Structure 1
């Protein structure tokens, strides 16, 4: 029995040695006090190296002293009273307040204190695990100050985590979009998409962000009420110290007024003032885009050149005001007889160009409809109006200039052969076919 008792004492001593060694090497500060509330107690009976490092005191200067030695002017009295009440009630307690190091420097400490009972359930000690959370508090204050500044910014700000989940929007964002914070936090920004940006736009966006580069462009987004708005938007990845992306921050500024002005300027530059049709310059650009689409998609492309017959005589006889009225009437017919996707261009004074994605037969039939529709007009001063038209479909390996040259040649033949007719260009399947009507 005596031997077993000695072995148990040795085992307990080894356990205590192991526990002491573990506490002393712990990252967090550990302190143990007795449970004596007399004469200003409890008093410190143990503290580890982390506790000494945190407070700036040597262990010898702490043992036998009350932890109140660490308190000072800014220590929260209410927190201390709550702590002491929990100790007297022998219950677990957790809280934080300001303590002071040996140097007099203040720090914010977070405690968790547990009562320790012996095998007879008698209270013998209190074990306190402590953390210096000063840097965390300062970081939180800095973060809160930054978020407050962002919230007060005049321009909308949106922040997502690396998975695109929204974690912050400011007041300006709420005002612009009509969404409140509670409606958007936890969602992805996709609900703002208006559908006006194509897939390539978003591929370019993510290509930049995945390569840790900012992306800036004009976005057309949708408000909560469904209306659209324009913003110049900049999206940038936020990297941590290891270079990993943790967040994305988006800043934007509304450009609705700029867009409206641009639309007006664009209309002035692209719309013919008299007819509302595309100008020659805008028509050239549109025809070039149609040509490149033909090269990429191999869809048929045809043109119709239209010229008002005897227009010089109209101007000479009736004057330019009547001449302008005739041009307006013909332009109106061309718009009404073509599809929304067809291009109708005022190509010259009394000359028009129609561009359609269709083969020669469709284009020829359209040209004849245009001719008949104009022929049905009867101006109160000039009388009956007629058109001459040249039709051509783009051939393989042919340039835009060659296409227009063949259509112009067909128009010349229509004029030469009596006017008021549509002629198909040479080199087409219906080469030389002349759809004509005499007055």
Structure 2
């Protein structure tokens, strides 16, 4: 808006832009008093600037005004004094430039900058050559690299070498095709620690559709992944001994049975029940009993091969998967080693404890072709061993474990 007002505050000129704001033709504005054109509130806001411009001082101010259609517009106003030949002020020009779009853009930029600076997600911006142009504080918090460290470098400073070239080729194919890639990637902090991040890389194009920037937004999910892995571990392992539990044992037996369809093999399942454990637990308490079970687990683990599995399936019950044994002689040898190891005194909290073990054995494929039958038959054989007395092993037979091989007493 451009207008001219005399020192009596009557309009002497108004351009067509006034109509948008005041719904009056310029000719209707000429001759009107300033305070009659605007409401009382707006006049009181402008009055200090009017006094200053009439005293000969140019004025500049910013203001948000309501248009006649109810919308709001932001203006930058200039009051420019007009001097008479004698140096007195005879009036002033008004130049009011609407900068609503500019102001809204500035506000959006401020908001974007605020988000950039305060988001907990790391943000990294590169040019089309991969040169880092900007990073936010969260980037520094996650990676350990300051803005000074990173700007001018490439994202290769974060590379962990955990991914092969095919991984990065597929990533950039996705970005080129769909303007975006999202996924999980291992990177390396400044101090050398590896971390897992969930990342989105977006391509920014100009008005002609040409790439001008790449924006990477990421967050560190290492702790979350470790928590997930820990929960998964707890789901398949005994909380006290950290041995596989019954669920994982069943899974491994089933997997070996599936593999046997491709490559025939033998399996022996040993069901082990501790002799005398209840008496120790009752006499010394659960804390001693728990430590005893931990020591038994360590001794059992020392006896297994990499291809074998030892699991805790109950209070004082353990199971072995002996993979591809070379006949009963090897199975008996391993079973006797187990009993001899457990027969050795176990020191817990200054007490020398003595326990034994009864072992029942079922073999694949002769004693069952599925995990449930094999475990049940090994359990039956174990109770047969207990009936024979402490420290015995017993092979399953349909007639309830009549074949036995005594352990070393």
Give the structure-2-normalised TM-score.
0.51
Give me the whole-angstrom Cα distance separating, in 2, the residues matched to 1:206 and 1:426.
62
CA displacement at 1:377 relative to structure 2: 2.8
1:424-435 equivalences under 5 Å are none
| Alpha carbons of structure 1 residues 228 and 236: separation in structure 2 relative to 1, 3 Å | closer
Specify which of 326, 341, 345 is matched with residue 377 of structure 1.
345
1:8-407 equivalences under 5 Å are 150=116, 153-159=119-125, 169-180=135-146, 187=154, 189=156, 191-193=158-160, 195=162, 212=178, 216=182, 219-231=185-197, 233-238=198-203, 240=205, 249-255=215-221, 258=224, 272-281=238-247, 283-284=248-249, 287=252, 291=256, 294=259, 303-312=269-278, 323-338=289-304, 343-355=309-321, 358-361=323-326, 364=331, 365-377=333-345, 380=351, 383-390=354-361, 392=363, 398-407=369-378
SS across alignment from 1:386? strand
| Alpha carbons of structure 1 residues 391 and 378: separation in structure 2 relative to 1, 3 Å | farther
CA displacement at 1:437 relative to structure 2: 1.8
Give the gaps of 5 or more residues in structure 1. 1-104, 106-138
SS across alignment from 2:318? strand
CA displacement at 1:351 relative to structure 2: 0.5
CA displacement at 1:391 relative to structure 2: 5.5
CA displacement at 1:434 relative to structure 2: 5.7
CA displacement at 1:305 relative to structure 2: 2.6
Cα deviation code 1:196-238 (max 9, x no counterpart): x79998899678657638665555532122223343x132443
CA displacement at 1:367 relative to structure 2: 3.8
Counterpart contact for 2:241–2:293, Cα < 8 Å: yes
| Alpha carbons of structure 1 residues 152 and 327: separation in structure 2 relative to 1, 3 Å | closer
CA displacement at 1:298 relative to structure 2: 5.7
Counterpart contact for 1:166–1:189, Cα < 8 Å: no
CA displacement at 1:374 relative to structure 2: 0.7
Return 202-211 or 335-344, whichever deviates more: 202-211
- Correspondence for 2:94: none
Give the structure-1-normalised TM-score.
0.48
Structure with the larger RCO, 1 or 2 (CA within 8 Å, 6+ apart): 2
SS across alignment from 2:178? coil
SS across alignment from 2:338? helix
SS across alignment from 1:277? coil
Cα deviation code 1:68-87 (max 9, x no counterpart): xxxxxxxxxxxxxxxxxxxx
Give me the whole-angstrom Cα distance separating, in 2, the residues matched to 1:259 and 1:348.
29
SS across alignment from 2:191? coil
| Alpha carbons of structure 1 residues 211 and 325: separation in structure 2 relative to 1, 3 Å | same
| Alpha carbons of structure 1 residues 344 and 186: separation in structure 2 relative to 1, 3 Å | same
CA displacement at 1:318 relative to structure 2: 6.7
Counterpart contact for 1:311–1:323, Cα < 8 Å: yes
Counterpart contact for 1:420–1:436, Cα < 8 Å: yes
| Alpha carbons of structure 1 residues 388 and 400: separation in structure 2 relative to 1, 3 Å | closer
